[in-house]
């Protein structure tokens, strides 16, 4: 995920937390880049274990998540069966799978025609497996949550998606997990355990800050708490911390709901224009489409010790 425009002011947050406490808060969990995204080399064995950890945490918290698949990540010569087994494990765990296209092709860098081809190329295994398990294949998550360069492109692409039975899966909360995950991936050695723990702790703190920001956006735009949709990725960091993330969300007052339930909220019918290059929270898209000014448009940049480590380990 590219960086979106960030918090202008965190001032309303203190007031906000008291106000929101009374609301029934719901959240759907979506996990992108299944089977796995990693900044460093990852074996199919580790990918399988990582997904087992994710699924165990989801089950422990009674969460029915949607995993968005990049089928190109399955095509490891000699190990395709292991990739298929990961998708099967998701379905057996009662989770849903969606399409995130073949090659993680975004609607900024690539043409609409190329992305449409990647959608169809990216559903081959998933279509077969979901049929086998009598599970639906109904959601599409745009890579980088880029919904198009222009309105005409966005509309044409969404018409294409609908014609192939796909509903767009929006997201309202993301908290830079790819940023923390890159550092975490690079700190894999046993002697780095203490630094890994610091990253995990700062990641949890960043979740709490980010959730407050998106709650503020919802309150300012809609006057209430929308059922939020969390976007995280299938990576080592979330494998190790998803249990904690879900505990934190429950602690913040959230009940977990499936994506289809969240999407039934009328807010998800609001217009959202083509994202262009940066794919912010749908809360920001709705506000922009309506010309409503919010005090914040997304979470603040990650700080703490992870930020300099990221500069050191993850800069290109
Ligand atoms: Zn992705």
Ligand 1 centroid to Cα of residue 260, in Å, is 20
- pLDDT bin (cut points 50, 70, 90) of residue 316 is low
3-state helix, strand, coil in the chain (%, to 5): 50, 10, 40
pLDDT at 315: 86
Residue 224 half-sphere exposure, CB side, CA atoms within 13 Å?
A: 9
- pLDDT bin (cut points 50, 70, 90) of residue 23 is low
pLDDT at 270 over 50: yes
Ligand 1 centroid to Cα of residue 135, in Å, is 22
- Which CA distances in Å does 69 have to 6, 17, 182, 231? 28, 35, 20, 13
Ligand 1 centroid to Cα of residue 255, in Å, is 25
Task: Write the DSSP symbol of residue 264.
Answer: T
Q: pLDDT for 208-257, tens place per residue? A: 999 999 999 999 999 999 999 999 999 999 999 999 999 999 999 999 99
Q: pLDDT for 127-173, tens place per residue? A: 999 999 999 999 999 999 999 999 999 999 999 999 999 999 999 99
List the Cα angle 1/80/28 in 5-degree steps. 40
- pLDDT bin (cut points 50, 70, 90) of residue 24 is confident
Element (H, E) at 287: helix 282-290
Instruction: Tell me how far apart the alpha carbons of residues 91 and 280 are, in angstroms, rounded to a whole number.
Output: 29
CATH number of 29-313: 3.20.20.370
Instruction: Tell me how far apart the alpha carbons of residues 68 and 60 are, in angstroms, rounded to a whole number.
Output: 20
Ligand 1 centroid to Cα of residue 20, in Å, is 30
**pTM score of the predicted model:** 0.92
Average pLDDT over residues 7-23: 47
Q: How many CB atoms lie within 10 A of CB 140?
A: 24
Contacts of 94 (CB under 8 A, 6+ apart): 59, 64
- pLDDT bin (cut points 50, 70, 90) of residue 261 is very high
Handedness of CA 119, 137, 70, 268 (dihedral sign): positive
Instruction: Tell me how far apart the alpha carbons of residues 53 and 51 are, in angstroms, rounded to a whole number.
Output: 5
Strand, helix or coil for residue 30? strand
Ligand 1 centroid to Cα of residue 184, in Å, is 18
Ligand 1 centroid to Cα of residue 236, in Å, is 15
User: Could you give the residue ranges of the DSSP H alpha helices within 133-270?
Assistant: 151-163, 177-186, 193-222, 236-251, 259-263
Domain boundaries, the chain: 29-313
- pLDDT bin (cut points 50, 70, 90) of residue 279 is very high
Ligand 1 centroid to Cα of residue 19, in Å, is 33
């Amino acid at each position: 995920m590219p960086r979106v425009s960030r918090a202008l002011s965190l001032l309303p947050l203190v007031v906000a937390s008291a106000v929101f406490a009374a609301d029934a808060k719901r959240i759907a969990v979506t996990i992108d880049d299944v089977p796995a995204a990693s900044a460093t080399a990852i074996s199919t064995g580790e990918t399988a274990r990582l997904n087992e950890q994710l699924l165990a945490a989801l089950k422990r918290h009674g969460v029915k998540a949607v995993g968005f698949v990049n089928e190109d990540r399955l095509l490891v010569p000699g190990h395709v069966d292991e990739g298929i087994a990961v998708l099967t494990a998701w379905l057996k765990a009662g989770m849903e799978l969606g399409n995130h296209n073949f090659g993680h092709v975004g609607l900024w860098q690539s043409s609409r025609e190329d992305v449409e081809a990647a959608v169809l190329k990216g559903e081959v295994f998933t279509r077969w497996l979901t049929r086998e398990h009598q599970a639906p294949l109904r959601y599409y998550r745009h890579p980088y949550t880029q919904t198009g360069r222009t309105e005409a492109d966005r509309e044409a692409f969404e018409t294409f998606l609908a014609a192939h039975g796909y509903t767009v899966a929006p997201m309202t909360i993301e908290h830079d997990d790819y940023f923390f995950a890159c550092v975490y991936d690079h700190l894999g050695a046993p002697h780095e355990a203490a630094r890994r723990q610091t990253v995990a702790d700062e990641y949890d703190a960043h979740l709490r800050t980010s959730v407050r920001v998106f709650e503020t956006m919802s309150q300012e735009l809609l006057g209430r708490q929308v059922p939020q949709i969390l976007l995280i990725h299938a990576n080592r960091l979330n494998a190790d911390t998803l249990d904690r993330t879900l505990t934190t969300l429950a602690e913040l007052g959230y009940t977990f709901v499936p994506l289809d339930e969240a999407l039934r909220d009328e807010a998800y019918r609001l217009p959202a224009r083509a994202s262009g290059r940066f794919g912010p929270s749908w809360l920001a898209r709705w506000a922009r489409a309506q010309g409503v000014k919010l005090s914040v448009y997304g979470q603040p940049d990650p700080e703490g010790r992870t930020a300099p480590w990221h500069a050191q380990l993850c800069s290109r």
